Amino acid sequence: MSFLGIDIGGTASRYVLADADGAVIARGSAGGATGHIFNPVERDKLVAVLTAIKAALPAGTSLSAACLGITGLGEKIRDEAAALIGGHLSLPPASVRLTDDMELAYRAAFAPGAGHLISAGTGSIGLHVMADGQIIRVGGRGLLIDDGGSGTWIALTALDRLYRLIDETGSTAGAKILAGELFTAIGGSDWDSTRAYIYGSDRGRIGSLAQAVARAATHGDALALDILTLAGAELARLGHALVQRAGHLPIGYVGGIIDLHPQIRLSLATALPGEVLLYPRLDAAAFAAQWARG
């Protein structure tokens, strides 16, 4: 008997295979996907991830059950998703436990009702799972609406502030380091290059520009440092929202943006005085494998 846990994110997926006693047999990674299987392109991405993971499992593996946390998975399509996933993993749909990646991360970090969790990567979202299993979500509405403090938010805010500076002064004076890092990452300093990059990219590629903002801040660019300070305040807002709705509990922050630059954590601590802040290192795929065991 073996049990498969998979944590599927938009840019990467991780899996863990455990035996009947819970010992890890194998682990690995694959490409990213989402639960937006109503979109044929996203459906194909999910199938590609499942195919790659199944092919990478040890020879002769016979799965008993699987648990998957998938970013963007909606309640209305869970039955369809379970049938799709079961078909590609050679499991009946009833043996496939599904949740979204954020609930999986929460349960890997806290027992229900024991804390709040905010994830900041390409996007940003906060979650509290109540003791009775009810879920409170804050943020997570995508880059076109919000995703404050996320990688995409940092990137787009930096470009917005930079181009306003150019509009008002005709140059990047005062933010030359930030401009240099951004335009190098984009591949050109003219508007055509920026337009092609932003409007021709998915949110993951846009969010990767946050690294350029962090490099500029490290090299002393005041505008870049201000944007990272604001990003921390945006992520703190999600923490405040969960505290207001579910009480004062430890607040865990996870995701690549938390470690993007020291200013992020400094800003969080400044904006959340008196709150217990945690920065857990989660192995959500391993937790999923254990959850699959029941």
pLDDT at position 294 over 90: no
Structure letter (DSSP) for residue 58: P
Please say whether the dihedral angle defined by the alpha carbons of residues 222, 224, 227 and 229, taken in this order, is positive or negative: negative
Whether residues 63 and 115 share a domain: the answer is no
Domain membership flag for residue 293: no
Is 9 exposed, middle or buried, given 0-12, 13-18 or 19+ CB atoms closer than 10 A? buried
Q: Where is the domain boundary, 99, 124, 146?
A: 99
Domain membership flag for residue 287: no
Domain membership flag for residue 182: yes
pLDDT at position 293 over 90: yes
Whether residues 234 and 142 share a domain: the answer is yes
Domain membership flag for residue 223: yes
Task: Determine the structural domain holding residue 117 and report its residue range.
Answer: 110-279
In tens, the pLDDT along 160-186 reads 999 999 999 999 999 999 999 999 999
Whether residues 145 and 187 share a domain: the answer is yes
Number of structural domains in the chain = 2
In tens, the pLDDT along 218-247 reads 999 999 999 999 999 999 999 999 999 999
Place of tokens 């945006």: 234
Whether residues 161 and 256 share a domain: the answer is yes
Domain membership flag for residue 104: no
Residue 177 structure tokens: 């380091």
Residues 108, 283: contact at Cβ < 8 Å?
yes
Q: Where is the domain boundary, 58, 78, 99?
A: 99
Whether residues 217 and 255 share a domain: the answer is yes
Report the pLDDT value the prediction gives residue 203, as an integer from 0 to 100.
Answer: 83
Whether residues 65 and 194 share a domain: the answer is no
Whether residues 128 and 197 share a domain: the answer is yes
pLDDT at position 158 over 90: yes
Residues pairing with 125 in the sheet: 119, 139
Report the pLDDT value the prediction gives residue 11, as an integer from 0 to 100.
Answer: 79
In tens, the pLDDT along 126-150 reads 999 999 999 999 998 888 898 999 9
Residues 187, 197: contact at Cβ < 8 Å?
yes
Whether residues 95 and 123 share a domain: the answer is no
How far, in Å, CA of 68 to CA of 285, rounded? 8
Whether residues 115 and 76 share a domain: the answer is no
Q: Where is the domain boundary, 76, 99, 122?
A: 99
Which residue type does 205 have?
R
CB atoms closer than 10 angstroms to residue 60: 6
Domain membership flag for residue 292: no
Whether residues 199 and 171 share a domain: the answer is yes
Domain membership flag for residue 31: yes
3-class DSSP state of 153: helix
Residue 61 structure tokens: 């593996």
Place of tokens 């799965």: 63
pLDDT at position 125 over 90: yes
Domain membership flag for residue 40: yes
Residue 277 structure tokens: 């802040």
3-class DSSP state of 35: coil
Q: What is the CA radius of gyration of the chain?
A: 20
Q: What angle do CA 252, 138, 68 make, to 5 degrees?
A: 70
Report the pLDDT value the prediction gives residue 50, as an integer from 0 to 100.
Answer: 97
Residue 182 structure tokens: 């951004």
List the CATH number of the domain containing 225.
Answer: 3.30.420.40
In tens, the pLDDT along 205-216 reads 899 999 999 999
In tens, the pLDDT along 113-124 reads 999 999 998 889
Whether residues 30 and 174 share a domain: the answer is no
Whether residues 58 and 78 share a domain: the answer is yes
